[in-house]
Structure 1
């Protein structure tokens, strides 16, 4: 999942999820899932906690359809 968040999603896009996310079914990401992300609409910020947390991203595919993707990331609050 780190590769997805680091490469495909610029940090400038980080924002609160729009209200339209309430209308979309949640798709749960798995590493074998093919993704067709043409444009990121919004995504949640990684919280400052030291554990794996679920995040959500709204994106449009190459056909212009919006999707709500839930994926897991390691929080940014861990200290060495």
Structure 2
């Protein structure tokens, strides 16, 4: 009986060790500034500024060549201003 209980406990312990899912890789937050080199392999998303007017916050999400996800937050001039020539 003790052997059966020990075997069942070992089975539960082994099963819970394999049940853990690995955590997702954290997103890398890039710094803004002049002459910042971005290693962009694939664009994931970017803020639509076509209807925005003035200086607005924008975000660019991308994957680098090693498959890591990056996020870049920056300020940009919107393109939706009326009477802007």
Same fold (TM > 0.5): yes
Q: 1:37 aligns with which of 33, 36, 40?
A: 40
- TM-score, normalising length: structure 2: 0.56
Aligned length: 59
Q: 2:75 aligns with which of 47, 72, 76?
A: 72
Residues 29-52 of structure 1 show CA distances to partners (whole Å, capped at 9, x for unaligned) of 222211110100111211523211
Which 5+ residue runs of structure 2 have no aligned equivalent?
1-23
Residues 4-39 of structure 1 show CA distances to partners (whole Å, capped at 9, x for unaligned) of xxxxxxxxxxxxxxxx9xx63532322221111010
The list of structure 1 runs, each at least 4 consecutive aligned residues, that deviate by more than 4 angstroms after superposition, is none
Matched residue, 2:61: 58
Question: Which fold has the larger relative contact order, with Cα–Cα distance below 8 Å and residues 6 or more apart in sequence?
Answer: 1
Which 5+ residue runs of structure 1 have no aligned equivalent?
1-19
Larger Rg: 2
